[in-house]
Structure formats: C-alpha cells, structure tokens
Amino acid sequence: MSEESETMMPPMNHIGCVPYDPEAFGYVNWGEYLPHTYTNWRNETLSWKRSCYISANLSPFPALTIKGPDVIKLLSHVAVNSFAKFPVGTCKHMILCAESGNVIDHGLILRTGEDEATSFITPFYLLYQAEKNGYDVTVTSTEEENRNFVFQLAGPRSLEILENTVREDLHDLKFMHFTYCTIAGRKVRVLRMGMGGSLSYEVHGNGNDDGLAVYAEIMRVGKPYGITKLGVNQYVCDHTENGFPQSGLHFPGAVLDDPDFVEYMSKVDFYEDAASAEPHGTLSNDIHDYYRNPLELGWDHMVKFDHDFVGRAALEKLAQTGHRKMVTLEWNPEDIMKVFASFFEQGEEPYDDMPFPLNLGDLGPAENRYQNHKVLADGKTVGVSMWRTYTLYYRKTISLCSIDPELAQEGTEVKVLWGQLDGRQLEIRAKVSRFPYLDLVPNKDFDMESIPRYKG
C-alpha cells in the first residue's frame, strides 16, 4: 500500500461496518458506498469455488424485526410460503406477491422467537399489510435502533474459517438453520445459508464498531485459507450462476401492481425504487412487462396453496393453465465476438457494450439493471433473458431466462435479441442449459465430514 493511498479519504457514506480499502476499484451506491471491486474480477469470481469469499454487500439493508402475537398470521397472509412449520432457529426464503401474482419483494425470514421474526426485506410492504389488515404486530428496523451488519462467507474453506473464528464446531448446523456464537467478544448469529450456491454461511450482528471488530477477526483467521474480499460487481455474478433471480437486478418488484401500496408509500415519505424502475434492453418500454411471478422464476416449490395469501388466485390459475419455466441460457461465443468487433467497424454505431463479467456501473446499478432482452425462436418471442453474466469458471456467457415451457428442454436453440429498443440490435444464438448453471454440490447436500472438525 502506497503512502498516497493511505492518505486517501473514503467516499461520503462509505459502509461503516468494514474498513475503508483505498486500493479498491470504484464504488457502488447501495444506500451506502461499497467497493465495486477489491482486487480484480477474475480472482473474486473464482473465490467461491477455490477458497472462500467474504462479502458485506447485504449490510446496507436494515434488518426488520416483527414482534407480536400475530407474527405468523401476518407472514402467512403476505407470503406464498407455508408457515405451518417454522420452528425457532430456522429460516425461509419468503416471497411476497401482489394480487396479480407478481413478486413485490422477497428475502430471508428468520424465526428468532415464538412471537418474533427477523428479515432483511424492505419493511414497507409488511408495514402496509399489517396496518391494512389490523394485525397485532410491531415492525421495527435497525435503522431506528442500531445498524446491523451481514457478512457472507462462501466457498469450500468457509466452514474451516468460520469454526476457527468462533472457536466452535459448527458441522452439525443444518442448512437454513442458525445459532449464536461469539467473535472478537461480540455476540453474532451464524446462519448456514448464502449466495455462493455451494457451502456458505452468514454472520449477523449489530453496530458498526462490532462489525469492524468481527470483520477484522474473520479476515485474520481467514488469511491462511486464502479468504478473498468480494466487491459488489462480482457479488451479483453468483446470483445468475447459482440460479437465484434477484429483485432489483434481474427484475423489479411489482410495486405498480398495487396502487394502494404506492399511495401508502407516499404517506410514509418513501418512494420505492421499483416504482420508478426504468426498462433496459429489447423486451419492452413498459415496466410491467419486466415483472415476474414466482412460478416462472423457478420458485414453484415454495408456493404452497395450503393457506390464503395475497396473489393466491392468480398463482393458482397460472399453476393450472401453465406458465413459463426458468432456465439458464448459454450464449454463442462467435456471436458475442461480433459485439466486440463492432467497436472497430467504421460507419455504424457499435452494439451495446458487453463488459466482463457483467453490466454494473461504478457508481451504481441503476443504468444497467433490469437488462431484459427478448428471446426468439422462429422469429417469435418465446421468453425473456435477464442479467447477462460471464463466468470465468465455466468460460461461458450465461443469463437466466423465463421461457415458454415447450422450449425449456436442455439443448433447445434460441436467439437473444441484444441491444436497446432504440439502438442497434443483434440476434445472438443461445441454447437452453441447466438451471441452476452452477453444478457444484449444493449447500444442503454438502458432505460436512469431508471438512476437518474444529478441535479447539
């Protein structure tokens, strides 16, 4: 580190729970400024296959605590998930829909007490539904109390690093379960879950001072194991590779499907980002065409019709009449070369830029997210491609795709219409591939006995 870099000041509103790294490249504004890239995208995107990454990219999103006797009633009313079984110490991927059946928000929900749950989704839709239906709950955010931090560790060495940090044996912690430990004298919650696709964990706590201490200890312990700091740009790559469509990136929340909710947000002095989302790509100029339902996102196994919930009628109809399927598209490299070659051609505008590993600006994703492109077969639109990503591990360009069910078989050939509606376009050949694309052992199926247990 040079003397000049040591004197550099962090950007305004730099994320407070991790130390400022003056050698990081660029920053992304997700409410707080996070490093776009720490070292280089190649090293960072390979980290969750070779060793372990540490990410603080969820920390800007406040934790939401729901307390009261009607906690489960509220969750059952707003979520497609069943909460008939939801013991303390477990978590679910909760999906909230509008009456249209389109996803408004989604995220983890943790059962932290008999009358208490904690989540990291946007609080306003839950507040809106709680007040609208008179549920006996209180909903509070850590922004009103003490700022939370969320550190994610993912990769084959993640458990070894974590166990040696908390100085406990965590081999028996099941997938989607959590426990409480101590790191650097601070109490933290450890959850076996993460975005790496294979073995991964989250470490939760409150307060920037505690966050700095916990982060430093994880980095100290993890250094001999090759721990890698993960920038935002690389963090969102694993969502596509791991087959996890993310609102705010692959698709916008369907806020405009509920006009009463939009009016409610104006009363609480908050304007949901998704309500002002702008389309990008060749799909459409209408943001409603970018909304997605959980069935076509590959979350149909989580939609349970054992309870009444917002959007049930629409999803039941889709389940009966048919819906698009989620697949991964593998893009043709020869056609991709045409995009790069266009920057050396005279007389025509180049095609839309296709930076590796994906389109994420240094200052923020607003100009690049919701990159949805038409998927064509025999000249007809048969699906939508979302959030193109290059994966160095597989040496492929891939994207998530919601496609007509009769074309969802692996090997089916289609074309992605690359570009913008008002610009130069290119049909890029692609073929339907596995979903998720990542073919490493999933977290829930990982052989824990293949990893040495902590001995103390």
Mean predicted lDDT score pLDDT of the chain? 91
Per-residue pLDDT, 2 = 41
Band (pLDDT 50/70/90 cuts) for residue 341 is very high
Residue among 47, 95, 377, 106 at smallest CA distance from 234:
47
The rounded distance, in Å, linking the Cα atoms of 79 and 98 is: 10
Per-residue pLDDT, 308 = 96
Residue among 147, 109, 140 at smallest CA distance from 32:
147
Per-residue pLDDT, 4 = 40
The token duo for 69 is: 């006797």
The rounded distance, in Å, linking the Cα atoms of 77 and 83 is: 10
Mean pLDDT within 111-134: 92
Contact call for residues 155 and 198 (beta carbons, < 8 A): yes
Going by their DSSP bridges, the two strands 380-391 and 396-403 should be labelled as antiparallel
> Would the pTM of this model clear 0.85, i.e. be above it?
yes
Greatest C-alpha distance within the chain: 68
All domains in the chain, ordered by first residue: 3-61+147-241 (3.30.1360.120), 283-433 (3.30.1360.120)
Residue among 54, 119, 101, 76 at smallest CA distance from 321:
101
Band (pLDDT 50/70/90 cuts) for residue 146 is low
pLDDT digits (tens, 9 = 90+) for 267-316: 765 555 556 677 889 999 999 999 999 999 999 999 999 999 999 999 99
The partner residues of 44 in beta bridges, in order of sequence, read: none
Per-residue pLDDT, 5 = 41
Element (H, E) at 259: helix 259-267
Residue with tokens 């991709």: 336
Per-residue pLDDT, 365 = 47
Residue among 361, 358, 371 at smallest CA distance from 279:
371
pLDDT digits (tens, 9 = 90+) for 221-245: 999 999 999 999 999 899 999 999 9
Residue bearing the bigger pLDDT, 194 or 213: 213
Mean pLDDT within 125-142: 91
Per-residue pLDDT, 1 = 40
**Does the pLDDT value for residue 189 go beyond 50?**
yes
Mean pLDDT within 354-364: 74
- The Cβ-side half-sphere exposure at 259, using a 13 Å CA radius, reads 0
Mean pLDDT within 396-403: 98
pLDDT digits (tens, 9 = 90+) for 19-51: 999 889 888 888 788 999 999 999 999 999 999
